Structure 1
């Protein structure tokens, strides 16, 4: 894996997805990923992208709205929308906000920003390393879309956390099997550090 051809994508590492905001959508262990994500952020990737859920208060996925799936979370301008404390956000090259349209959901950055894959290709990026929250939802959908665009894709398990959401039909084990079928690879921080080469 060449660092000069790889992007790190930090997906939705926000307080609203952790026990720091228990009334929102806490993912077990969500707040504990900061150290592992920072270890990735210290590596010499060609670029580092971050995504940020940025929902309006009446977002269609919220309980009481059209899709009625999730408690209100990561609402624009609130604490829940903020990145996790201690995260090395100064390393982010670009922050991509998503889910900001009331009547449309966007699990993946590619759903909200369809030119993202073309931008990566224009910068000679061939590989995407993805971490964050939740591993089996927004991380997976980003990984799936980029894999379908022809990128090599790695999901970093120990820099992520997942959650089953039965009402949305989203399950961790099912998602993992689908990811492996697509050729997405799972990796940990230590192994990735060994495999990342500077050229």
Structure 2
């Protein structure tokens, strides 16, 4: 998905930024340094992809506002900056920490499956108002200014979800061809999801 988005938007670089403490959901069962290493392995070989560990170095919740503020300071005021999110995350955007300020720092690029574009009647009143003011379906609009637009962008649908892959790993089922072999080998060598399955089995 990331490569498809990079091509459609003409991005020079895509940063993968693992969250140490996600503020909008329960903390991941796998430690942050393991998750970061799996990202590094998954993106190795693509010169346009970069692992950015800045959120792992912070204490407290991993707020997007802090990350985007840092990136904007590094990139300057004129460079377009995009935050790539999925449809579900977009529909919950109004619950994010100081979410309105994010619009001054970056564009939101909302990846959705073809034919499943987020509907306005599914948006909160606050989000609907912002979408009506800033929304676009044209990638060129986010290339023409540094921040402030919301782009809905269709991407090729894959018939597998991250949660389904995690479930398969916990249950000991094969994930061959679903994740990179280097990542699968790392998971096996560190017994990551086997350890999680053991915790769930013993109720801890």
- The interval holding the TM-score normalised by the smaller chain is 0.3 to 0.5
Kindly name which structure, 1 or 2, has the bigger radius of gyration based on alpha carbons. Answer: 2
Greater RCO structure (CA 8 Å; 6+ sep): 1
Structure with greater helix percent: 2
Structure with greater strand percent: 1
TM-score in terms of structure 1 length: 0.42
